[in-house]
Structures are given as structure tokens and as C-alpha cells.
């Protein structure tokens, strides 16, 4: 696709698909839907990642002469790993904050120790459930979905900014990505 439409178009399409995938996961996720409720979003995100990784790797590695390909490869690896770590940290923090804010009002009827533990995360809520399992698990599932939705919408916002950046930088001329990445 990149050979036919160009790096900018392929990457922009990938970013758009990734953002659409996040939006689908935010919109379709539900307590009762299980994995199938996020499958369409995950497929769109996977396709988007596939469309962006190859042209970005090519742009970075082709920006440097053959004798500096090790530097280009290292730069590519670092940017990919840093981006992954940063996105997991950001979206995880948003999900956790959303969960905690949404679950606290639902825990009023549970013993203090159980409520405190359940407030730390859904895994803790399930672990602590004991004899109150159905009620506590249900009380934790909805807030988890709320936090998930907030995290996915945050991801959509980040992808929108990235999409705009790619379009604006691309208008500045040929080689825009490699000049930015290799500096």
C-alpha cells in the first residue's frame, strides 16, 4: 500500500484506523458483551498498527546511510518501545482513575475492608468477593467498563493529535518524517 499511495497516506490511514478501533472499543464495550464487544475495535487497531509500523520503520532506516543502519534500527526500536510504555502508562492510569471514581459510591453497603480492597482494582474486587461475590463483582464490573471507556476516549484524543501532526508535517515537504525522527 505504501508503494502505491505513499508513506503519508498509509500512515494517516493507519492512525485513523487505530483511532477508530479505540473509539469502537469505547463505544461497544459492555459488562455482558465480554471479549466480543471489543473484538472489532481490536481488529481495527491491529490493522492500523500494521499500516503505520512498516512505513515508519522504512522512513527511519532509509534516512541514514548503510554504515549507520544500526543507529537507525536502534532509534526505531527505542521509539516503538517508548511509545508502547508511555501509552500503557497513560491509558492504564486513566482506566484506574476512572474505575476508582466510579466504584467508590457503589461500595457503601460492603464492609470497610472489602470496600477498600475492591476499590484498588477489579482483580482485587473479584479476589475479595467471598460470600458477597455476585453483588461485589457486579459492583466492580460497571466501574471497570467506565474506566475502560475513559481510557479508550483518551487514546482517541491522542490518535487525533497524532493524525493532525502527520498531516501538518507532511505538508512541509518530502522527507518530513525522517528529518523529525533522526534529529
Domain residue ranges in the chain? 2-182
Specify the pLDDT at position 177.
53
Provide the pLDDT for residue 150.
96
**What pLDDT, in 10s, does the model give residues 55-99?**
888 888 888 888 888 888 888 889 889 989 999 999 999 999 999
* CA 111 – CA 133 distance, rounded (Å): 13
**Other C-beta atoms within 10 Å of 18: how many?**
26
Instruction: For residue 159, give the nearest of 2, 8, 11 by alpha carbon.
Output: 11
What is residue 124's predicted lDDT score, i.e. its pLDDT? 83
Contact 33, 49 (CB under 8 A): no
Distance separating alpha carbons of residues 4 and 26, to the nearest angstrom: 32
Q: Give the per-residue pLDDT at 16.
A: 96
Say how far apart CA 80 and CA 156 lie, in whole Å. 18
Q: Are 28 and 148 in contact (CB under 8 A)?
A: no
Region of residue 65 (left: phi > 0; alpha: psi -120 to 50; beta: else): beta
CA atoms within 13 A on the CB side of 83: 12
pLDDT on residue 175: 54
Q: How far is CA 169 from the centre of its chain?
A: 23
pLDDT digit of tens for each residue in the chain (183 aa)?
A: 878 888 888 989 999 999 999 999 999 999 999 899 999 999 999 999 999 988 888 888 888 888 888 888 888 889 889 989 999 999 999 999 999 999 988 888 888 888 888 888 888 888 877 667 788 888 889 999 999 999 999 999 999 999 999 888 867 655 545 444 444
pLDDT at 179: 47
Residue 127: per-residue pLDDT: 82
Amino acid at each position: 500500500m505504501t508503494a502505491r499511495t505513499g508513506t503519508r497516506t498509509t500512515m494517516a490511514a493507519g492512525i485513523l484506523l487505530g483511532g477508530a478501533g479505540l473509539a469502537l472499543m469505547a463505544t461497544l464495550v459492555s459488562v455482558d458483551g465480554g471479549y466480543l464487544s471489543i473484538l472489532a475495535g481490536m481488529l481495527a487497531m491491529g490493522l492500523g498498527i500494521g499500516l503505520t509500523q512498516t512505513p515508519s520503520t522504512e522512513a527511519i532506516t532509509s534516512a541514514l546511510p548503510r554504515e549507520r543502519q544500526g543507529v537507525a534500527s536502534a532509534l526505531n526500536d527505542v521509539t516503538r518501545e517508548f511509545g508502547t510504555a508511555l501509552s500503557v502508562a497513560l491509558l492504564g492510569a486513566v482506566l484506574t482513575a476512572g474505575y476508582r471514581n466510579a466504584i467508590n459510591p457503589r461500595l457503601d453497603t460492603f464492609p470497610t475492608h472489602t470496600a477498600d480492597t475492591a476499590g484498588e482494582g477489579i482483580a482485587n474486587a473479584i479476589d475479595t468477593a467471598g460470600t458477597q461475590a455476585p453483588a461485589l463483582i457486579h459492583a466492580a464490573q460497571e466501574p471497570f467498563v467506565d474506566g475502560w471507556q475513559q481510557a479508550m476516549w483518551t487514546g482517541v484524543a491522542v490518535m487525533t493529535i497524532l493524525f493532525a501532526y502527520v498531516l501538518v508535517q507532511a505538508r512541509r515537504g518530502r522527507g518530513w518524517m525522517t528529518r523529525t525522527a533522526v534529529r
